[in-house]
Amino acid sequence: MMNLNTIRGREQRTGWILLLPALLVLLLVYGYPIVRAFWLSLFTKNLGTELQPVFAGLDNYGRMAGDGRFWQSFWTTTVFTTSAVIIELLLGLGIALVLTQKFRGRSLVRTTAILPWALPTALIGLAWGWIFNDQFGVVNDILRRVGLIEGGINWLGDPTLALMAVIFADVWKTTPFISILLLAGLQSISPDLYEAHSIDGATPWQNFTRITLPLLMPQILIALLFRFAQSFGIFDLIAVMTGGGPGGSTEVVSLYIYSTVMRYLDFGYGAALVVVTFTLLIVAVAIASFLLSRSRAKTSGAA
């Protein structure tokens, strides 16, 4: 009879064989473009001035260090991502706490709550662009009716207000995604824990801080990981609402890369921008994964 190690070895080989097609697809879909972008970033290739690529080493990365427009777009991306993710987490947690309660029509509310997330982002951007329109927008019309303003506010024409508008639109669309993730985590927490804690005299706030938050931390980190990656690479919403304006105040890194490659045909420098952005995302994901593993270890230890 075969021993246990032999059986495990065969199972592992079978598992790798079954995973091999999927790994090859991932390698072709993700691996090749990344390697190709890094290789292209080492060349000066601009179809507007040079038809043939010229090896430039790390010149494109040196150029990036002194590119004020890149750093401005990076700062805008950071502000947008940080603000949107924090607001979405707080609102999503609040909505999840409400949806986990028992009330009439809860199933209907849960179903409709996910609708903003299901709608196409380009369509949402177009709708919110009209909502914030200074002449025909719903926002200005409501503010006029309640007497808060007399003339129209140019929401998308002012640098600060335009950034606030795109953040608001992104929060409206993606908060349901976080709330559904956190709702799934809340439903996995046993009610017996709250009952036992309440018998000991704990208040609802103590239940939330000592039971809900610690046990919900893995789902919170997963939600933050997804939303950070999506927000940092935001393109379609801002492209439709403001196009990066006014004056580049809402131009994020993805829009700058798009403009560099598609408008100025500077493929070498655009590839360098892609490589740096991808590297920053990998670092952020690695940090989040480390925190997630630590959170899971603490949760398992507490259990």
Cα–Cα distance for residue pair 272/64, rounded to 1 Å: 8
Q: End-to-end CA distance of the chain, in Å? A: 39
Read off the pLDDT of residues 243-267 as tens digits, 9 standing for 90 and up.
Answer: 988 888 999 999 999 999 888 888 8
pLDDT of residue 49: 64
Q: Give CA–CA dist 91/221, Å, rounded.
A: 15
Q: How far apart are CA 260 and CA 78, in angstroms?
A: 20
User: Which residues of the chain are modeled with pLDDT < 50?
Assistant: 1
Burial grade of 300 (CB within 10 A; 0-12, 13-18, 19 or more): exposed
Q: How many angstroms separate the CA atoms of 42 and 60, rounded?
A: 7
Tokens matching residue 142:
């409501």
Helices (H) and strands (E) in the chain, counts: 15, 2
- Write the pLDDT tens digit of every residue in 22-68: 888 888 888 888 888 899 889 887 776 666 778 888 889 998 888 89
Residue with tokens 């259990």: 303
Q: Measure the CA–CA gap between 196 and 206, rounded to whole angstroms.
A: 12
What pLDDT is stored for residue 114 in this prediction? 84
Q: What is the pTM of this model?
A: 0.84
Note the pLDDT of residue 209.
Answer: 84
Decide: helix, strand or coil at residue 44.
strand
Q: What domains lie within the chain, and their CATH numbers?
A: 19-302 (1.10.3720.10)
Sign of CA dihedral 99, 105, 107, 109: negative
pLDDT attached to residue 79? 93
